[in-house]
Structure 1
Amino acid sequence: MSEPDASRLANEGLGLQLRRVPVDPATSPHWRGLLDARDEAAFGSAWLALQCSRLPGVAGGLLLIRQADAAAPHLTVTWPPRDLDASDLSRFAETAYAERRMVVGPGRVGSDTSSAHPVALVVAVPLGFAKGPFAAAAIALTTTAGKPVLTPEIIADRLRWEAGWLETLPWARLAGDLSSDVTRAASCLDLLAAVGAQPRLRGMAIAVTNELATRLSCDRVSLGIVRRNGAVRLRAVSHSAGFRRDNRLADAIEDAMDEAIEQRGTVAYPVLPAMERAMTIAQRALAESVKAPGASAMTAVLVDGRGKPIGALTFERHRNEPFTAETLKLAEAITSLLGPQLGLLLRANRLVAGRLADRVGDACQALFGARRPVLKLCVLGVAALALTLIFAEGEHRVTAKSVLEAEVQRAAVAPFDGFVRSAAVRAGDTVQGGDLLAALDDRDLVLDRLKWRAERDKLLQRQREALGKHDRSNLAVLDPQIRQAESQLALAEEKLARARIIAPFDGIVVSGDLSQMLGSPIEKGKVLFEIAPLDSYRLIVQVDERDVRYVAVGQNGTVAFAGRPGDPVPITLNKITPVTVAEEGRNSFRVEARLSGSGLQLRSGMEGVAKVKAGRRSIVWIWMHPVVDWLRLAAWRYLP
């Protein structure tokens, strides 16, 4: 209706009125059958009846519907629903469905009770998409003078137009499956929430059995755990805080669990179509032990994340209400989600030995299993390296700190008490033999020499006078006095000569610095300088007491000094002294070594690290013997 007409009717006060038209009960049953697509047989019969009743000259019809399971036979409905021999219709429909094209041909259609069937024209049409039809319809048309009322092309077009009703069947199946999946998912999530609320295994087992008994309408639900020896042990029974494990009922439940675990699948009694080949002896015995008519039992296996059976759930109904395929799917979905959670909880509640065994088992599985090739290559490489280190030999060298000392070291000491007058050298200076090192103040010595020289001359003058007078007694007295004066004079001259401290040989001043002590008094015997030769050294190797057993006189080695680490010097051990030196909390033995190199620019006091060759040993022993020695000493110290 156009806008002007609508406005005109509104102005005239006229309105559109709706009236209810009653439905004729005689024609409504077929349409009511199309309201529920979940019953595919009733839906298909209603659709076929509507098509056959609305087409003129139809003697019979057949509808073939593909099932969701490709292996299952097709669903077939006929019109009229009873007393119809539809063998030719079925053959034409199957040919059209298989070849995906319209098939037209003569065929016989009639009542089952009649021996003679009239010949009719059969039109079979595949319904659905060209790549995959989901149904096929075959219509038998009566003929008049060899011609049907409607041509086969018109029949085929009408069937294809009406096939939209049949397209709702796959969607109805999908909706039903999705509804079941949502229901199962909700049940699984609720069960997982109940499991997560229980930190202990016992509480979790009781909560799971009680929840499953309520959701699956079971009279009793039992949970069993597989022990390390492979036997199943009953851990929880629904609606029961405690139970006895040494009775017949517990044995029957455990036998049912063992039966399902051995078959690695869900087992039920009465047997469901999905488990026709399953052994149900223990399930039947458990159901019969209740002594209730129609009792049923079902056991589902719990598998952890690694695919290993860790337990089982047994469901029992003590009434005439067997388990269905939908209940089976729900039970399997619950066990598939509950198994990994239960496996983690079992591992968390195991003792240290059990966890260690699991770790070893996991390692062996990863090492010898079919997967993880990189790990296997790494382990093989490590094993090859270990064998190489065990059987390969290397040079065992004892490492120790070392200090370079002069082989001969001369000390210049104060000859008498006096004062320092001059210091020509100090530590680090190189001197030649006879060079002046230092001089002491000799003024007192010069006066003392003059004194005794004058005394000697006086005594000699008196001796000459006594000889002129032939005074024997006076000569006897003067003679010892003259010798005493000469001795004192010689002593004074000797002290005067020793006031100059001279270098005994060519060398270097190792210690001593009097440049800051000029005029200071010194005592007799005080060491003023230490001089060492320039070309004669010895190396003192401080060998740790734990390694001294590996060294011997005559062994060779090398030493690298801190001042020249890139130029190691060969050495040879020539003396092991029984003298120990405590340093940094350790005892070390002084081992003397001789340097084998020539033309070395060394200085006394240089420090370095020496390595002495102690023979060939395996590389593992070289690396590990300090640790082994420490462990042996610790065991000796702490073990009784």
Structure 2
Amino acid sequence: MTQTATATSPPAATAAAPALRLTRGQAQPGPDECFARLRSFRGPTEAFLAELLGLQAALAGAVAGWVFAAGSAEPLAATGAVDAASTARAAALAAGEASPPGPFRLQPLAGPEGPVTVLRLPVPVAAGADAVTRERLALTATLYGLHEQRLAAERAGAGLAVAAIAAVAGEEASFEAGALALAAALVDRLGPGAQAAAVGWPGRGGRVRVAAIAPLTDADAGTSAHQALAAALAEASRSPLPHTDPAAALAAEALGTPAAAAVAARPGEPAAGPVLLLGFDPARLDPGLAAARLAAVAAAARGPLALLARADRPLAGRLPEALARVAVRGGVGRRVVAAALAVALGAVALVPVPATVRAGFTAEADGARTVAAAAEGQLASVAVMPGDAVRAGVTVLGTLATDELRLERATLLAERSTHRREADDTRGHDPTASRLAELEVERLDAAIALADHRIAAARLVSPISGVVTSPDLHPRIGTPVTRGETLFEVADPARLTAAVAVPEAVAHRVRVGARGRLRPASHPGVSLPVTVTRLSPRGEATAAGTVFRVEVAFDRVPGWLKEGSRGQARIDAGHAPLLGQWVGPTLDALRLHMP
């Protein structure tokens, strides 16, 4: 089953206006820039045609333009001064009818059955200029052929991409890691524009549980975000009809993306395999292509995930079912054995075994330094981008405007020169006046030194070696800044810690010095050993409920781990009976809500 829906309104019959719009007095991108954009364009064909129409209209100096598909009177794209009458005349020309009156030009984009462009020029052009325009338009038409060839190549390689995405699940050692790797691969590899993904797996009673989300969020069970994802997965699993809106619309809302596709491995059979949700940008990824690829991934990943899910079920979870079958179907001897095994299982359930606390984590910079404005002024320049490497005391991150400070310094120098001459002229005959002038020179020297210090402080130099982690400040050039305002942040990538958001219900089980393991979303098959270094005494309210911040230190920080990376943490929490670990959370929840 495949469903797609977008959160935006559907396009009108005349399609959306192209990205390059003709507006009088508005600077249009140059031909070179437009050609470069179209050569690397990765969106759907309709959006490409809109971009191409904008370029053709700009090159021809047209006041209006349309793109028509073969045999259609409704344009795929339009730009400029478009009205019903001019659109009808352009459609007649595109259909091969007699040329309508007016300066219209027809420009084929492909073969006889391919789309064509119709441009309306403001005035007839000279013969020489007209030849140049035709040559330019013919050159732009070749870009459409390149776009079609690229789409064909992508469709040919889609099977390999699907197989590679599905294969990542089988490479992991546990179902949790396999589902998380599959969700991350869907976002990274399914196609440009993929923004978020979720993996669901059938549970008891026909329900579908949320097995993994990418990028990782704090949507723990019980939160509205988690419930929305579960509802979208359930709708996708039970609806037998393809291309139905409810599941895809629910998925787009739950994932927070403009559009989404929702796919079940076998429509109408909730226990047959994974249910996948993909949120994407429809301007960059064709919805039909996204849904088709997602369906292929769901079918290919069904086997590997099923094996991992079965292998992950503990013996204590499978044994009661086996005992129940023996008690119902077996003879007296088998029933005696089943009873003995049940007693043994009850004894085992009381044996203390290692316990762990699971929660999400975020990698943070340890010892990051900020660079603030030393005085009020304007941001004059920015020399770095996020991620740039910088050196302590050498790299200039940016500068503040110093025009007023330099003017003030020049004024102070002029005053100092005047008082210096006054002190020299009165030294012999008026000692008092000479002394007063010298005192004024000393005051001006201090003021000049202060101005020099403020001018030097306008150069914002990195205090440590590392990488820039603050947002890009180029858009703020020329805007005012206040004294003490943080402008840049620099962190050492080799010094990372992690903050684990432990739910309130299990926070009391975590101790300083406890060992743990982190699985980052970018490398779900890697387990990073850590040690708890600090427990926050104050809880933090989140959408998932109250959590306590637990700081952990890495034994060794891998080079690929970045600040802001997320994943799942498991922290050792001593020993507890199996029975308590199974039913403890349920009993705690019941006690909390009992009158």
Larger Rg: 1
Bigger relative contact order, structure 1 or 2 (CA pairs below 8 A, ≥6 apart): 2
TM-score by length of 1: 0.40
TM-score by length of 2: 0.42
